[in-house]
Amino acid sequence: MEVILKEDVNKLGHRGDVVKVADGYGRNYLLPEKLAIEATLANKAVIEQMKASAVRKSAKEKTGAEQLATQLSEVELVFERKVGENEHLFGSVTSGDIAQQLEAKGFTIDRRKISLEEPLKTIGEYHVPVKLHREVTSHVKVTVKGDQPEAEAVTTTA
């Protein structure tokens, strides 16, 4: 099935591209979510207009993303988690946790835009990339702490 993308889709293409996808993926995901339209002759005639507006929209989004990137670079998030041996966390800090705390600070960012290779499972300081636009990536400082101070080893003298 050939479709025309109305929005950028990760690992598929950018707005205005004509791509060939599996029938089920197109019918069950791209079309209902309004991420694409079928590539018919009538719709192909509209592609040029879409591409022109996509360039304008992309430029506007990029400007907004750059402003947001400068604000996000100053944000520092702190997470407290239970800690086991070797400063290994019982839970982990995921992209969903980061998105939730960013939202609490007034930034609405989809968790899928937070590029964590895998959840953070150890105590430390991390710089987590946030892809705001295909050309704009910001970094958020994330600090993971233990929820209790390290317990001193109790020694008993006989």
Of 85, 91, 109, the C-alpha closest to 99 is 109
On the question of pLDDT at 150 being above 70, the answer is: no
CA distance 123 to 81: 9
Written as six digits, the tokens of 42 are: 């009538």
Q: What is the DSSP string of 72-109?
A: HTT-EEEEEE-B-GGGEEEEEE-HHHHHHHHHHTT---
- Cβ(131)–Cβ(115) under 8 Å? yes
The strand pairing partners of 127, in sequence order, are: 141
Residues 25-59 pLDDT 10s: 999 999 999 999 998 887 877 777 777 777 888 88
pTM of the entire predicted model:
0.62
Q: Which residue ranges form the domains of the chain, and what is each CATH number?
A: 2-63 (3.40.5.10), 73-146 (3.10.430.100)
- Cβ(143)–Cβ(133) under 8 Å? no
Q: Which residue has the tokens 């290779």?
A: 117
Written as six digits, the tokens of 94 are: 């995921």
Determine the length of the chain. 158
- Cβ(36)–Cβ(30) under 8 Å? yes
Mean pLDDT of 7-24: 87
- Cβ(9)–Cβ(30) under 8 Å? yes
- H/E element, 61: helix 41-72
On the question of pLDDT at 2 being above 70, the answer is: yes
